[in-house]
Amino acid sequence: MNGKLTKTLLLTTALAAMTGAAHAADVTLRMATDSGAAGSAAGDALDRWAALIEENSDGEIEVDVFYQNELGGQQDVFDLFMANDVQLMINWPMTSYDQRVAVVYAPYIFSDWDAALAAYSEGGWMNDVINDIYGDLGLTFFGAWPEGFNGVATKGGYAVTPDEAAAMKIRVPPSFPMAETIQAMGYQTATIDWGEVFTSIQTGVVDGDGANVIYWDYEYFRDTLDYYNRMKQQFNTGIISMNEEAWDSLTEEQQTVVAEAAAVVMEEGFANAKALDDHYVEEAEAAGMTYIEPSNEELAPTVARVREVVWPMLDEQVGTEIMDVIRANASEF
């Protein structure tokens, strides 16, 4: 190799290294969800948020994305988030650090999509409640990522009345008042982490799942479940948020990029949630699941019973002040 060629190669290598250094990320953030594999709606929302952050920061911020179970179970990932080992999340909130987070799982506060989306939108009453709680937890709250009304998915049969429900054991996640709500509806319950649900249903440990919108029960358990009964006990929503310590470490410009990207993901979630939920009802029925959706009138006795049993528990856990906001704004059935 002649000297001129050697010099040219060395210069090219040096310029490449300088270019790489110039575009190297100043900040690396870890983003995770506790529920949602790559390619799921939640996984796609993570990817969208990460891509917007990287693009709009001109490469200053790099985002490493972790999907469900890649960093552990639901509680494990939330522990990492609270410790700032994960900086960004779209997750289904855990109540282990502050029982007031249970307000997002309060049963029978919305009767329809319009009421729920209005409450969770920017400036909505539920949005304001969650923002205050998350601030006290040391988390920066960006907004909700709505999924829709949940129900009870079962195999072999389904229940409409508490008497029918009494013979069935239903899986619930480790978040208050999920178990208490399903119990007030008449079922037996078993608290099982998300990663163990399929095996638990398959082996007969439980007769079904009582926490999720139809997507999850169709996508993950359709081979083991026969019925999806949309009892509408909770309006499920993920939460888009950031560890406050990590947020404070960003420049003002970087904070704007992260927050604006989160707003896009939230707005797209609001725009698409109802249609996506309807789509998976069709998919589930096409796959052979029987879909049941009681009217609000049919639900009214269950609503009254659950509110009578569970809302006083929430008074003790989240505080009467927050529950008074719920009572003032809750839908009629």
- Give the model's pLDDT for residue 193: 85
User: What is the mean pLDDT, run by run of 10 residues, along the chain of 333 residues?
Assistant: 40 36 73 91 95 96 96 92 97 89 95 94 93 96 94 94 92 92 97 90 96 94 96 95 97 97 94 94 97 94 96 96 96 92
DSSP codes joined into one string, 35-92: S--TTSHHHHHHHHHHHHHHHHTTTSEEEEEE-TTSS-SHHHHHHHHHTTSS-EEEE-
Residues 269, 122: Cα–Cα separation, whole Å: 13
- Give the model's pLDDT for residue 203: 94
Kind of pairing between the strands at 188-191 and 139-149 = unpaired
> Residue 326: which residues within 8 A CB-CB, separation 6 or more?
103, 106, 109, 311, 314
pTM for this prediction: 0.82
Q: Which domains does the chain have, with CATH numbers?
A: 11-147+236-274 (3.40.190.170), 152-234+285-329 (3.40.190.170)
